[in-house]
Structure 1
């Protein structure tokens, strides 16, 4: 698993597992779809895994909620973990 950021000693991180999609605009795969939030912040479509939900079900639900589209063909191609300080809605150490 790829790890981004570093865990700082003595910091309690809020752990949030999620599932995110890379959606290509066309066969050339030179453009991807992003979700714009809070003005000028851009994110991959997806979100947090709810209790009792699989990553696959999360992805299907989040894509429908955020884009209005249903997805059928998807596969896991990367697993990652990151340590960072979230600023929205409040400043908080997080590990996704």
Structure 2
């Protein structure tokens, strides 16, 4: 089985009781909400990754105000073409960010199609990826070891 490691950086941006999210299609095409952020490029610092990805996906510039923690996820992705299944390991670095400029806009030609602010109380009702919940727990609980039990 092939192995794939993906390291990514994401931001929790909360303003006036609202969380900034981006929408991305799930593998089956269903839209789901994700944290703004994404994969690191080779040689890129995670701090730079989160600022670049957030600008690409939302139009905003941010100041990284803290490191909230790290989430690790591992699963097998089913057979793709003739290459067989993939053992995928995702390492997600979660930062706290504050919007400092730019204007909210949707990404064109990227991995997301919509960016929006959502009331924190409405997030549980959204179709979202697990990382949104993990990141909000990191933001609320601020664990000293930078991780929450899953």
TM-score, scaled relative to structure 2:
0.48
Task: Give the equivalent residue in structure 1 for 2:22.
Answer: 35
Of 3, 12, 25, which aligns to 2:15? Answer: 25
Cα RMSD (Å): 2.4
Deviates further, 71-80 or 44-53: 71-80
Measure the CA separation in 1 of the matches of 2:33 and 2:57.
Answer: 13
Measure the CA separation in 2 of the matches of 1:86 and 1:48.
Answer: 18
Find runs of 4+ consecutive structure 1 residues off by over 6 angstroms: none
Measure the CA separation in 1 of the matches of 2:31 and 2:44.
Answer: 30
1:46-61 correspondence to structure 2 within 5 Å: 46-61=37-52
Pick the structure with more strand per residue. Answer: 2
TM-score, scaled relative to structure 1:
0.71
Residues 69, 51 of structure 1: alpha-carbon distance in 2 compared, 3 angstrom cutoff: same
Q: Is the 8 A contact 2:8 2:39 kept in 1?
A: yes
Q: 1:92 Cα deviation (Å)?
A: 4.3
Of 75, 78, 94, which aligns to 2:88? Answer: 94
Residues 67, 81 of structure 1: alpha-carbon distance in 2 compared, 3 angstrom cutoff: same
Higher relative contact order (CA 8 A, sep 6+): 1
Unaligned residue ranges in structure 1 (runs of 5+): 1-10
Partner secondary structure for residue 21 of structure 1: strand
Measure the CA separation in 1 of the matches of 2:35 and 2:77.
Answer: 16
Measure the CA separation in 1 of the matches of 2:58 and 2:77.
Answer: 24
Pick the structure with more helix per residue. Answer: 2
Q: Is the 8 A contact 2:75 2:89 kept in 1?
A: yes
Greater Rg over alpha carbons, structure: 2
Alignment size in residue pairs: 82
